[in-house]
Amino acid sequence: MKQGYFLLILAFIMYLIGHILWSVSLLNNNSFLFNESTEIWLINIPFGLFSILGLIGFLKLYRKS
């Protein structure tokens, strides 16, 4: 049960990182990292990890209940 909660906390940390990167990219008109393509990938990776970790965490908690 603790592993499910850990995965959910990790998922929401990934969401927070993705949201911060996305907000910074919206505030900067220029690309704040190497180039626009790299910036898009670095913003999308935390959101993808959020969805995967959230799904696994919820499934682990659902199986325990």
pLDDT by residue (tens digit) across 9-40? 999 999 999 999 888 888 887 776 678 888 88
Nearest-angstrom CA–CA distance, 23 and 30? 13
CA atoms lying within 13 Å on the CB side of residue 9: 6
Does residue 24 contact residue 32 with C-beta atoms inside 8 Å? yes
Q: What is the mean pLDDT of the chain?
A: 87
Nearest-angstrom CA–CA distance, 56 and 38? 27
Q: How many domains does the chain have?
A: 1
> Which structural domain range is residue 14 located in?
2-64
